Every structure is written in C-alpha cells, then in structure tokens.
C-alpha cells in the first residue's frame, strides 16, 4: 500500500510501496504540486522502475517552471536504486541519518 500527503512542514510525505500498481496514486498527487518541493522518503519502503518514472516525470515538469523535487530521508537501499538509475545526477538526494 502507498500513502502520500502533505506533512506539517509543507513537505510531501510518501510512505509504503511505490510499485506499478500504486504509481497512478502518487502521480495524481504529485501532478498538483508546484515550486520547490521536498519529498520525505523516510517511510518509503520500496520503489520500482514504475515509481522512478513518477519521480522523473514530476522533476521534468517542475524543472520547466524553475521548481524542483528534492528527495529527503532516503534509505540506503533506495539510495542504491537512485544511483543505479542516475537519479543522483538529476535530483538533490538527502540520505536518511
């Protein structure tokens, strides 16, 4: 299951599993955000290539209007996935402590 909503500090908090069956839910939410946005990934357990596509599409849209998506609280496993995908070159990524 996946949950995505605004957190108290204005960041977007995503939790659960961002797989092919859940990416439409995440895309629908992220299509509505504007400007610089921090995506709190500290409770994101899993991401597949379908989920990576959601993040990439959002980054491209925000970048076109001088915004960006920043990924925060990223676990080691997700850091590896982002690195293998080259996302460390096109996203600002803050690893989990």
Contacts with another protein by CB under 8 A lie at 17, 19-21, 45-50, 52-54, 56-57, 59-60, 63, 76-77, 80-81, 84-86, 89-90
Judged by beta carbon, residue 7 or residue 60, the one nearer another protein is 60
Q: How far is the CB of 8 from another protein (least distance, A)?
A: 28
Strands ordered across the beta sheet of 68-74:
2-6, 12-18, 36-47, 68-74, 92-95
| HSE of 12, CA atoms in CB hemisphere, 13 A | 22
> Residue 79 to residues 45, 66, 94: CA-CA distances in angstroms?
12, 25, 9
Judged by beta carbon, residue 31 or residue 80, the one nearer another protein is 80
Q: How far is the CB of 83 from another protein (least distance, A)?
A: 9
Judged by beta carbon, residue 7 or residue 53, the one nearer another protein is 53
């Amino acid at each position: 299951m996946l949950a995505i909503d605004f957190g108290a500090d204005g960041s977007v908090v995503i939790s659960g599993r961002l797989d092919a069956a859940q990416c439409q839910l995440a895309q629908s939410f992220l299509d509505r955000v504007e400007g610089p946005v921090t995506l709190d990934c500290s409770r994101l357990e899993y991401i597949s290539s379908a989920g990576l596509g959601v993040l990439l599409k959002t980054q491209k849209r925000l970048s076109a209007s001088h915004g960006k998506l920043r990924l925060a609280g990223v676990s080691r496993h997700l850091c590896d996935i982002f690195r293998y995908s080259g996302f460390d070159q096109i996203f600002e990524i803050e690893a989990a402590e």
